[in-house]
Amino acid sequence: MITLRGLTKRYGDKTAVHDLTLDIAPGKVTGFLGPNGAGKSTTMRMVLGLDHPTAGRALVGGRPYADLRHPLREVGALLDAKAVHPGRPARKHLLAMARSNGLPERRVEEVLATVGLESVAARRAGSYSLGMGQRLGIAGALLGDPAVLMFDEPVNGLDPDGVLWVRRLMRSLAAEGRTVFVSSHLMSEMQLTADRLVVIGKGRLIADAPVAEVIAGSSRNSVRVRSPHAARLRTRLLAEHAEVTRIGEQELRVTGTPLERIGLISHEIGVPLYELSAQEASLEEAYMELTGTSVEYAAPAPPEHDARA
């Protein structure tokens, strides 16, 4: 487990992380989301002892990282896929890590096989593509077979097959009872991978909840209704203080009223339905609502152009 208590980091007059209190539990994939500059990487660096907090504590298994007797066996991390000497072959890079942490050499071959780099392990890391570098970084995180794993943007540079592989890996590691903490800007991937989400903005906690709960809180959730008597149904729904948007002659978009209640109302007033379906917001839509006021580096929207012009 990763435990944060009042974790705060200031750089001069700028507060990068503000009073974060969280428990990142084992047995789940916890997604770590936030705009650029929100404090995600700084938080992860403090967990690993690379940055020192101004206030508060970051603990791994109940202890500061610096107090762990065998760190690589207790927590594995990928924060920067380029943090490898470019002239060193991948296998030798992992061997150096293994020997310095008292791990058997066979473990190097095991993790190379896990990430699919056995055939290129003799190549220098500097010749690797971004995706191959990510795989090497993941191999390093897995090397000590730790109970806690942290990944900062692990799917950057991976092709669709690689993204799917990472998703399955994260979920399999969590299923083994490990703590898996993953940051990403790919909302669609987090929706498929994570069990729980931690969302921060400008260093402050915005949300800490299961993925389904975060999505359920979005105002973009609605109900699609199609009926030959849509106007009549709309009048009744408005009387119940529902938010109703007329989409077409026979279609309505309803928010603020459960699908079940809409079905009962249509039955009560004798209005037949062609369709009654829940339209769930995407995680991206829910995330944009949550972080809309927390984006530090917002650019103006590009002008729209008519593709038919």
Using CA of residue 50, residue 52, residue 53, residue 59, what is the dihedral sign? positive
Record the pTM.
0.85
Question: What pLDDT, on the 0 to 100 scale, is given for residue 260?
Answer: 94
Closest CA to 257 of 275, 276, 270: 276
Tokens of residue 119, six digits: 């055939």
Kindly indicate whether the domain formed by 222-279 is annotated with CATH number 3.30.70.
yes
Across 46-102, the runs of DSSP E, i.e. the strands, are: 55-60, 75-78
CB burial string 150-162: b at 16+ within 10 A, e below: bbbbbbebbeeeb
Which of 85-89, 215-219, 224-228 shows the lowest per-residue confidence on average (mean pLDDT)?
215-219
- Give the mean model confidence (pLDDT) for residues 58-86: 91
Task: Please indicate whether residue 80 or residue 147 has the higher confidence score (pLDDT).
Answer: 147
C-alpha distances in Å from residue 258, one per residue of 210, 235, 265, 278? 21, 17, 11, 9
Mean pLDDT of the chain: 91
Question: What pLDDT, on the 0 to 100 scale, is given for residue 217?
Answer: 86
Asked if 46 and 133 touch (Cβ cutoff 8 Å), the reply is no
pLDDT band at 302 (very low <50, low <70, confident <90, very high): low
CB burial string 94-119: b at 16+ within 10 A, e below: bbebbeeeebeeebbeebbebbebee
Distance CA 49, CA 63 (A): 11
> Residue 297: pLDDT above 60?
no
Question: What pLDDT, on the 0 to 100 scale, is given for residue 51?
Answer: 94
> Residue 300: pLDDT above 90?
no
> Residue 97: pLDDT above 50?
yes
Secondary structure class of 261 (helix, strand, coil): helix
Q: Start-end ranges of CATH 3.40.50.300 in the chain?
A: 2-216
Distance CA 102, CA 99 (A): 5
> Residue 22: pLDDT above 70?
yes
Question: What pLDDT, on the 0 to 100 scale, is given for residue 81?
Answer: 81
Q: Start-end ranges of CATH 3.30.70 in the chain?
A: 222-279
Tokens of residue 239, six digits: 């009387």
Question: What pLDDT, on the 0 to 100 scale, is given for residue 199?
Answer: 95
Task: Please indicate whether residue 298 or residue 160 has the higher confidence score (pLDDT).
Answer: 160
Distance CA 99, CA 48 (A): 20
- pLDDT tens column, 267-294: 999 999 999 999 988 999 999 999 887 7
For 2-216, the fitting CATH number among 3.40.50.300, 3.90.1200.10, 3.65.10.10, 3.40.47.10 is: 3.40.50.300
Portion of the chain with pLDDT greater than 90, in percent: 76
- pLDDT tens column, 30-49: 999 999 889 999 999 999 99
Question: What pLDDT, on the 0 to 100 scale, is given for residue 309?
Answer: 46
Portion of the chain with pLDDT greater than 70, in percent: 95
Asked if 50 and 214 touch (Cβ cutoff 8 Å), the reply is no
- pLDDT tens column, 135-163: 999 999 999 999 999 999 998 888 899 99
CB burial string 129-145: b at 16+ within 10 A, e below: eebbbbbbbbbbbbbbe
Distance CA 25, CA 31 (A): 12
Question: What pLDDT, on the 0 to 100 scale, is given for residue 307?
Answer: 45
> Residue 129: pLDDT above 80?
yes
Question: What pLDDT, on the 0 to 100 scale, is given for residue 271?
Answer: 95
CA-angle at 172, arms to 169 and 177, nearest 5°:
130
